[in-house]
Chain A
Amino acid sequence: MDNYVITYFDNEKAFVETFNELRKDSVHIIDTFTPYHIPEANIDPKGKFPIPGWALSGALTGLILSLSLLFYTSFDYKMNTGGKEFFSWLTSVPVVFEVTILLSVLFAFTAFMIYRLPKWHYDYCEIEKINEAVDSEFVILIPLNQDEKGLIVEKLDRINPGKNIIITNSGSNT
């Protein structure tokens, strides 16, 4: 395990304030862990999220596939019903609509799984405070390199005294 420092909070307000202060001071943050979504604690505000693109690809695939299938089957086994045309786009609408939505959702969900999850052995799962984040703690994880170590720890001790844990290869200490 590399060297990290974890700073944890028991309320959202203090967490967001510290997060903003660290960002202002250009401190590198690996990630934040919270029990619910906090938009202000976005560590990657300019990050691109490919899920909508996947959803659109799914929708287009569904549209083309279902329309092609219906068109193909209309001529593969021709049924002449009262002299009407073999292929009716109007009667294709329900099936095409449903398949479009279905594939779009499946693609979006697949993208969600590919880009973040699943992880059996999830990141930093050995760190107890991060496990607490799904329940009640607000945690910021910061890497420690030898040059800035003292500076960052000092800053955190000033902002959030007594709630910082340094994690090194040999273990952790508060």
Chain B
Amino acid sequence: MDSNSLAMVSRDLCNHVTSKPGKLYWLVLLLSISLAFIGICSIYYTIDSGIGVWGLNNSTAWGVAITSFVFWIGIAHAGTLISAILFLFRQRWRSAFNRAAEAMTLIAISIAAIFPIVHTGRPWFALYWLLPYNNDMGMWPNFKSPLEWDFFAIATYFVVSLLFWYLGMVPDLALLRKHVKGKLSKGFYTLFSLGWTGASRQWKHYRITYLLLAGMATPLVISVHSIVSFDFAVSIVPGWHSTIFPPYFVAGAIFSGCAMVVSLMVISRRVLGLQKYITPSHFEKLNKVLLTAGLMVAYSFIMDIYSAFFGSNSHETDLMISKISGEIAPLFWFMVFCTVLLPQLLWIRKIRMSMVPIFIISILINLGMWLERYMIVVFPQGESFPDINWTNYIPTFTEMSIVFGSIGFFMTLFLIVIRIVPIVSVFEHKSGMGRR
């Protein structure tokens, strides 16, 4: 591979940063901002009026907000999985997806944080309640509470993911320093590329640091969603109190996260003209990971049903019967269709490599995974212990508009990111081509 080929790879992969975006980009950005704006209005309305404007009631205290929190934290998982774990296993094909997946992680964590913060009703106190700092009465936050564990897990995950993402970008930021034209842009990339020259010693330090961060990020991925699952598993509510929850949540998170990467990359590849660099073969491998995670989720579903009937807790059994044959059953079976049956199509290689089918499958998987979180979070509260407590929870327009607004936030931030950094890791791609 000669200099001209390497220069061409740089030009192609940096093109969406260095050139002006087309009309389609502005149109999608406008739509995303509009959707996000609806979410912002609803957040403002909630804070101004109090969470009484949500559909929560005495028995159902956690609604679609917490469902969406768990969903977005799950989405955030694929980034570090694709980056760190596949890096440790020396999977070169990860270079097609890792940059976008890591950006997705950071955006998804930021969005996930909105939900519990707004849910507190008084968000300006949220950090004060969670930071390890004693109040005027000398009272500390309760470190034995899973909600406090959540704060530490998610804050750590955000910081580590941010550093991991940034570190992985430094050589490409130096490349952009050379390619961008404007004085301001040049200054920006010069500042953030930290004086990177591609010197041998820099590479050596870089590889060691990256390896260390990958090694530390890997147990972190497992721990974060395990800790999120503790929010439910350490309680005594039927449907929540389960030892299978940590691996169940981790598998679900990897499943939905990978599906989101597939959805995003199918679109990005087409819109940014990266067909030459993100090939069907890359998608085929990612879809194998998706299928494996799907099988783990399916196994978790089966075990969840099995333990409900096998165990001696009659509340668990009643709850499961209600879930699979009661009012909520259509949603349950639709969820099973999306997350268990549909992914089985990925056994077929031709489907794994075809863009339209995998895009549809990935979207439906995420719809199913959101419903799965809804089943886990909301449903057991409404039909828990004594029958007298049973109440229906119906999310209000305000709640749902925050949920849809979060999709707008996600798209807006992602569209901004692809204007700032190359969506495919340029130096890793060159390395893969050069050393093949």
Contact = CB atoms under 8 A, between A and B. Distances in A.
- A, B assembled together: yes
Interface of A: 10-12, 31-38, 41-44, 47, 49, 51-52, 55, 69-70, 73-74, 76-77, 79, 88, 91-92, 94-95, 97-99, 101-102, 104-106, 108-109, 111-113, 115-125, 130-137
Contacts of A69: 132
Nearest to B207: A37
Nearest to A117: B194
Given A36-B430, A105-B160, A95 B149 contact: yes
Interface stretch (B195-203, B250-258, B345-353): B195-203
12 contacts: A35-B171, A36-B434, A51-B208, A76-B138, A76-B140, A94-B146, A95-B152, A101-B160, A116-B202, A131-B197, A134-B197, A137-B3
Interface of B: 1-4, 6-7, 10, 132, 134, 138-140, 142-144, 146, 148-149, 152-153, 155-156, 159-160, 163, 167, 170-171, 174-175, 177-179, 190-191, 194-209, 212-213, 216-217, 219-220, 223, 227, 230, 427-428, 430-431, 434-435
Contact of B204 (A36, A47, A99, A105): A47
A33 B196 contact: no
A112 B155 CA distance: 22
A104 B174 CA distance: 26
Nearest to B172: A134
Given A44-B200, A99-B156, A136-B10, A36 B4 contact: no
B196 to A, nearest CB: 7
Contacts of B205: 49, 51, 112, 115-116
Given A77-B140, A94-B223, A116 B152 contact: no
B212 A12 contact: no
A124 B197 contact: yes
A36 B167 contact: no
Nearest to B431: A36
A43 B213 contact: no
Contacts of A111: 209
A65 to B, nearest CB: 10
A101 B156 contact: yes
Contact of B6 (A32, A35, A104): A35
A11 B138 contact: no
Contacts of B219: 101
Contacts of A123: 195, 197, 199
B198 A33 contact: yes
Given A70-B143, A73-B140, A94-B223, A55 B212 contact: yes
Given A37-B206, A91-B144, A102-B156, 4 more contacts: A37-B203, A88-B144, A101-B160, A108-B212
Contact of A105 (B195, B197, B216, B223): B216
Contacts of B194: 113, 117-119
Given A37-B206, A98-B152, A134-B174, A43 B197 contact: no
A130 B6 CA distance: 15
B204 A108 contact: no
The 6 lowest CB-CB distance pairs between A and B, nearest first, are A119-B195, A122-B195, A10-B3, A118-B194, A36-B431, A136-B6
Given A94-B227, A101-B216, A104-B216, A133 B200 contact: no
A137 B209 CA distance: 24
A77 B139 contact: yes
A88 B149 CA distance: 14
Contacts of B138: 76-77
A95 B148 contact: yes
Nearest to B8: A136
